[in-house]
Amino acid sequence: MSTVATEVSGLSDPELIASVRGGYADAYRALYQRHVAAAGKLARQLAGSAEEAEDLVAEAFARVLNALRAGRGPDAAFRAYLLTALRHVAYDKARRDRRMSLAADVAAVAGAGATSVPFQDTALAHLERSLAARAFARLPERWQAVLWHTEIEGQLPAEVAPLLGLTQNGVSALAHRAREGLRQAYLQAHLAQAPTERCRLVVNRLGAWTRSGLSRREAAQVEQHLDGCAACRSMADELADVNGTLRAVVAPLVLGSAAAGYLAPIPPAGPPPATGSAAPAPAPDSLVRHLLRLITWLAAMATATTVGLTSDANRNVAPLAWDTPPAGLNPAPAQRAPGERAPAEHSRPNGPVPPAADRSGPVGSSAGRVTPGGELSPRSDRVGRRGLARPP
């Protein structure tokens, strides 16, 4: 198995995603190598054996590739989208296995059709309706991506920088803006549900109070109200601990019941993890085995019926609310974090342009469009109108 071409190995995740939509296989291999360790870590929490875990990883990557080629999927937050897809793959497999094992027993039982009712995790449904989850879903996708990697997975700026196409300082600056944006979105969501006028006045000041930006008199007034209002006190605590809030609310929406195991720290053993990885990268022979499994799944996808993966990929299984970001939260298109490089004039890696029949991206899409001159034009920077994209 050949290694990833050097032309794409230095691209950011958004650039690689655009290249995948343009039909470049090496770009998806680069995404695979960056995120397969994280996918394997989650799969081991969900699977009953190592072989089953590898199958889950392969099918999740295949579903994500299918979504990208169809014009769906993420623009920047590849890791969270992939892990959500993997969790759904595991749920789907569990349902299939359960139906197979119970088929003979339920055939003669009245009401057996209930076994086909889609699985719904009531705990996750409650989290999805929470103000914190709704606030996170309203953030630009790039902000969601940096918060996922830095606050939820606890990666260092040096690890996240190549994924987002930033310097270490650029990652830190973007993460700071994203945290402030999350606080403001959370405050706006809470403000709409504030039970009293006094609560609304305090909520308007909580952002500044959290940053110690109020005068002594104003801070005393806010704190006096917090002492007697449990709802506002709870929100103030969540604002002060963005990291804990994201791990407690957003992580389970992506990772499901495996969140605790996935986020548990792993004692260091051997060389440090590869850049951008959540766990040590697999050994070369393991990577080859993973890639072979992925190729097998892709071949199966190519011959699957419409009732198979196609219908499954179109299901609405988004873990978060997909609202338009509130006014004032989106950074101006021209603004970039310090150290963030401008979009490349041509994000296409060197090499021959695939024939038009080989490109599975949507016709007329701005994502990864190939110009008449044979060059891949950069995608326009769509700032988070969808939040995390709907996973397959």
Number of domains in the chain: 1
Domain that holds residue 172: 6-101+119-262+276-358
Nearest in space to 81 (alpha carbons), one of 248, 335, 283, 319: 319
- φ, ψ of residue 272 to 5 degrees: the values are -65, 160
Tens digits of residue pLDDT in 201-227: 898 888 888 888 889 999 999 999 999
115-129, 137-151, 284-298: range with lowest mean pLDDT: 115-129
- The mean pLDDT of 341-370, rounded to a whole number, is 39
296: confidence class by pLDDT, cuts 50, 70, 90: low
269 found inside a domain: no
208 found inside a domain: yes
Secondary-structure breakdown of the chain: helix, strand, coil percentages, each rounded to the nearest 5: 60, 0, 40
7: confidence class by pLDDT, cuts 50, 70, 90: confident
243 found inside a domain: yes
- The mean pLDDT of 30-34, rounded to a whole number, is 96
Residue 178 has pLDDT above 90, yes or no: yes
296 found inside a domain: yes
53 found inside a domain: yes
List strand residue ranges (DSSP E) for 114-163, in order: none
Tens digits of residue pLDDT in 45-81: 999 999 999 999 999 999 999 999 999 999 999 999 9
367 found inside a domain: no
Residue 150 has pLDDT above 90, yes or no: yes
Q: In whole numbers, what is the pLDDT of the chain averaged over residues?
A: 72
Helix 78-106, helix 50-69: angle, nearest 10 = 120
213 found inside a domain: yes
Tens digits of residue pLDDT in 118-142: 444 444 555 556 778 888 998 999 9
- The mean pLDDT of 152-162, rounded to a whole number, is 96
The Cα–Cα gap between 195 and 135 comes to 19
The Cα–Cα gap between 299 and 295 comes to 6
pTM metric for this prediction: 0.64
Angle ∠(242,154,271) on CA atoms, nearest 5: 170
Angle ∠(101,103,109) on CA atoms, nearest 5: 125
Q: Which amino acid is at 206?
A: L
20 found inside a domain: yes
Tens digits of residue pLDDT in 80-120: 999 999 999 999 988 887 765 545 444 444 444 433 444 44
The Cα–Cα gap between 145 and 163 comes to 9
